[in-house]
Chains A and B, each alone.
Chain A
Amino acid sequence: GAGVSQSPSNKVTEKGKDVELRCDPISGHTALYWYRQSLGQGLEFLIYFQGNSAPDKSGLPSDRFSAERTGGSVSTLTIQRTQQEDSAVYLCASRQPGRTYNEQFFGPGTRLTVL
């Protein structure tokens, strides 16, 4: 079946512009996560959705970052007034509900470059 998909795969933008990154989770997965991976670094947690609500936004680095999820499916991560330090790969993952230990399935990521 289809896995987690993300779009665009690559995004180049100019400093100060806004960007939107999209995540399509696996069908039926109500839990959705956003991570940021800077070059050669680990995965930095950004935000977690359960359904359309976000009980944990603790990883969002600043108020320029926001995310929403509609219909319990697609999620959009928005970065306003992008800065060069926002350049990274943004990864999305989804998880099947109802089982405590179920794995997170990751998408291929969106590589964001801010010039």
Chain B
Amino acid sequence: GENVEQHPSTLSVQEGDSAVIKCTYSDSASNYFPWYKQELGKGPQLIIDIRSNVGEKKDQRIAVTLNKTAKHFSLHITETQPEDSAVYFCAARYSSASKIIFGSGTRLSIRP
């Protein structure tokens, strides 16, 4: 069935270092992969997304990569800052459905 796995569940990095979160998906028909950031007490907010016809997308300090063959996609945050501390969710949308399947989340902590 539809499944998105996300690793790691927790990640602690030194301020200024890079953070990488990895996800895998099960359905090769997936064509849209958003990443959401959830701060404490708030709903998730989209930070970046990538479509299946693109291998990489970058927006300032955030980048996503997609390997369709391996069904892997990753979020890269460079030059991390304290405000990057949050829970990050990857997700995949299946072309045959309107719902988005979310990963289990990664709690990112930035150490000062």
Contacts and interface: CB of A to CB of B under 8 A. Distances in A.
A75 B77 CA distance: 36
Contacts of A43: 44, 89, 102
A4 B89 contact: no
Contact of A56 (B41, B98, B103): B98
A77 interface: no
Nearest to A3: B43
B70 interface: no
Contact of B100 (A4, A100, A104, A105): A104
Given A42-B102, A42-B104, A56-B97, A104 B46 contact: yes
B11 interface: no
Interface stretch (A11-19, A64-72, A80-88, A106-114): A106-114
A100 B95 CA distance: 9
A79 interface: no
A42 B36 CA distance: 11
Contact of A106 (B32, B45, B49, B99): B45
Interface string A44-82: 010010100001100100000000000000000000000
B61 interface: no
Given A42-B105, A91-B43, A91-B44, A103 B49 contact: yes
A114 to B, nearest CB: 20
Interface in B69-112: 89, 97-105
Given A43-B89, A48-B98, A56-B98, A106 B103 contact: no
B32 A55 contact: no
B46 A103 contact: yes
Contacts of A4: 43
A34 to B, nearest CB: 11
20 contacts: A31-B98, A41-B104, A41-B105, A42-B6, A43-B44, A43-B89, A45-B99, A45-B101, A45-B102, A56-B98, A56-B99, A59-B99, A91-B43, A100-B32, A101-B32, A101-B49, A104-B34, A104-B46, A107-B43, A109-B43
